[in-house]
Structure 1
Amino acid sequence: MPEKNLALPSVEIFAQSNSGHLQQLYTGFSALHAAGEIKLVQRLKKRPSLRVSVEPHLRDARLAHCAAIINGKYRVYYDMHDSWEVDEEALHDHDFYFKRSFYPDKFSKTFIGLHKIRPYGLNYEVAANPVDLFALRRSFLSKNAREFLTGMGWATGLADLWQFIPSLRRMEAPPPVEAPGSVLFMARTWDPNQNSTSIDTKRQADRDAINQMRASCISKLRDAFGERFVGGFAPTEHARKKYPDLILRNNSHARQNYLKLLRANAICVATAGLHGSIGWKMAEYVAFSRAIVSEEIEVKLPGDFIDGVNYLSFRTADECVEQVRRLMNDEKFRLQMMLDNRKYYLQNLHPKSIVALTIREVLSTKTELGFRA
């Protein structure tokens, strides 16, 4: 990232949570440091308290946030939460605000500092390859002994003895030489009544709509493609009760089994997540160079992630089936999409790349635009 004869960018991050939402960000910083492209310092902060003065779904949002200082002067904020809402206090206190769920049309025009908000990009849970000393230190942010042992295990690689670690070397793949046209769609349901005291009526309805879209896609894909379709709902209590005929079998929802299926199926389906967000699966599909059929994307992403090039969009389950059929029947188009997604991954999604892009944007922005220098 840095040019010759220029000092390496210095980055000081303030870790206050070890949330899965932040792992891609942390992994990117670690990878840039290991490659000698930045000088990284990590400081641990007290876990943020729940905020009672905001909407219920935002009370613990800061567990998915991380602040940084670049070159000792630019104050940068990373917001990896699912929702589109902006933390106005953090926006006021920082020069740049990188937002995962970047919906410029929804942001209030009354925000002071609206120009500070930038799109972050696709997000997923991916850990640095062990041993990662920065991750080792972050284990001390754990809220209980179980979390602490898991964090230590991920940082050292020892957790492989009892669970799957989504380390960087495991969470990507180039396009295969041959890509059979089978389709994968594994999903979960969201219980509208779970934590009912902290979810309002509108968000309960949103969860119902997400569940129904996913159920319709699973049912219609199964009917249309038979054995060429692999998918269903993870066997949670809610899914078993509401959609007993659409449950995954044979423990295929487990992470390591899911990744095997991901490698084995060229076409993958994605639907919208909570709050209209793009779920982790979309990023995983791109990281594994899959051909993608996705519910329409409203979030703005960095780089060129284009409908008809990197994915085919749909609005209904019937449209989903037709877009999958198009990819199944056109091997040349399918393989080209996989190549295009590999390119997007390397340039805009790989943890090292996506974090480097944010640093580059900070350092290339002129102070005349209103940022403190």
Structure 2
Amino acid sequence: MSVTCRRILGKDIIKHTDLEVDPIVTDNPKLLFLTRLWDPDTVKKYHNGDVGITDEYNKLNDFRLMVLDTIKEKFSSSAMFGLSDNEYTRKVASDYILPSEFTSRRSFIKSLKEYEICITTGLHDSTGWRFGEYIASSRAIISDPLRYIPTGNYNHYISFENKNQLIQSIEKLMSSRSLRLNLMLKNKKYYSEFLSPDKLILNMSY
């Protein structure tokens, strides 16, 4: 069944071309941070009661909430930010839950191109999945530090580890068209050389 037919039937199919877009900078850049919280107790059940896993997810949730609180406090007028809905999030951060029309995969991909600056946070010390999506869309990326060295040497994102660094990173990108464009162009080049489907296949062949 073709992608077009599956979409007509309501299947949430995402193609790499849905993400690809040329970098465009504006005078009024907008910021995007859409994420989720994890229920540490539920996660622990799938890891044989490992308390360390619970601590890790608690820290991740706290970190993501810090990012949301910071955006709300400092940048809410120029940002889209919030959480996808689940039972745990309703208990601990219901004010940040967004309607599903904003958090579904297709809505997220569609809205992504409207935001020049995108924030992502990883899991298990890994690179966040959305990091790759932001690269494919040639966004200016702010991320927690990558624990694994990416292919190439592009310096194509800005890292932060705490609230002050996050504020500084956002303000730096908000105030500089040239910096935003520089990062966006680097990510477009990175995608074309390492992450586009044809390059992934080619690189796996060697």
Q: Identify whether the pair has TM-score above 0.5, normalized to the shorter chain.
A: yes
Structure 1 residue aligned with 2:120, among 247, 254, 270? 270
1:110 corresponds to: none
Q: Cα gap change, 1:156/1:225 in structure 2, threshold over 3 Å: closer, same or farther?
A: closer
2:42 corresponds to: 194
Structure 1 distance, partners of 2:17, 2:128, is 21
Structure 2 residue aligned with 1:160, among 1, 4, 7? 7
Q: Cα gap change, 1:156/1:326 in structure 2, threshold over 3 Å: closer, same or farther?
A: closer
Name whichever structure is richer in helix by fraction: 2
The answer on whether the counterparts of 2:84 and 2:100 sit within 8 Å (CA) in structure 1 is no
Structure 1 residue aligned with 2:159, among 300, 309, 313? 313
Name the aligned partner's letter for residue 17 of structure 2.
R
1:239 corresponds to: 89
Pair 1:284 & 2:133 matched: yes
The answer on whether the counterparts of 1:215 and 1:246 sit within 8 Å (CA) in structure 2 is no
1:181 corresponds to: 29
Structure 1 distance, partners of 2:127, 2:27, is 25
Deviates more, 1:208-217 or 1:189-198: 189-198
Structure 2 distance, partners of 1:345, 1:271, is 19
1:331 corresponds to: 177
Name the aligned partner's letter for residue 299 of structure 1.
Y
Question: Share of identical aligned residues, percent?
Answer: 27
Within 5 Å, give how 1:327-366 maps onto structure 2.
Answer: 327-360=173-206
Structure 2 distance, partners of 1:156, 1:252, is 22
* Equivalenced residues, count: 203
Structure 2 distance, partners of 1:337, 1:179, is 16
Name the aligned partner's letter for residue 182 of structure 1.
K
2:62 corresponds to: 212
Residue deviations 1:79-131 (CA, integer Å, cap 9, x gap): xxxxxxxxxxxxxxxxxxxxxxxxxxxxxxxxxxxxxxxxxxxxxxxxxxxxx
Deviation at 1:250, TM superposition (A): 6.0
Structure 2 distance, partners of 1:320, 1:171, is 25
Name the aligned partner's letter for residue 6 of structure 2.
A
Unaligned runs of 5+ in 1: 1-152, 361-373
Name the aligned partner's letter for residue 325 of structure 1.
E
The answer on whether the counterparts of 2:25 and 2:180 sit within 8 Å (CA) in structure 1 is no
Deviation at 1:249, TM superposition (A): 3.6
The answer on whether the counterparts of 1:179 and 1:335 sit within 8 Å (CA) in structure 2 is no
Deviation at 1:260, TM superposition (A): 2.3
Within 5 Å, give how 1:3-22 maps onto structure 2.
Answer: none
CA RMSD of aligned residues (A): 1.7
Deviates more, 1:262-271 or 1:249-258: 249-258
The answer on whether the counterparts of 1:289 and 1:339 sit within 8 Å (CA) in structure 2 is yes
Deviation at 1:261, TM superposition (A): 2.0
The answer on whether the counterparts of 1:314 and 1:323 sit within 8 Å (CA) in structure 2 is yes
Unaligned runs of 5+ in 2: none
Deviation at 1:192, TM superposition (A): 0.6
Which runs of 4 or more aligned residues in structure 1 lie more than 6 Å from their structure 2 counterparts after TM superposition?
none
Task: Give the alignment's TM-score, normalised by structure 2.
Answer: 0.92
Q: Cα gap change, 1:206/1:333 in structure 2, threshold over 3 Å: closer, same or farther?
A: same
- Secondary structure of the 2:52 match is helix
Deviation at 1:267, TM superposition (A): 0.1
Structure 1 distance, partners of 2:92, 2:118, is 24
- Secondary structure of the 1:315 match is coil
Name the aligned partner's letter for residue 350 of structure 1.
S
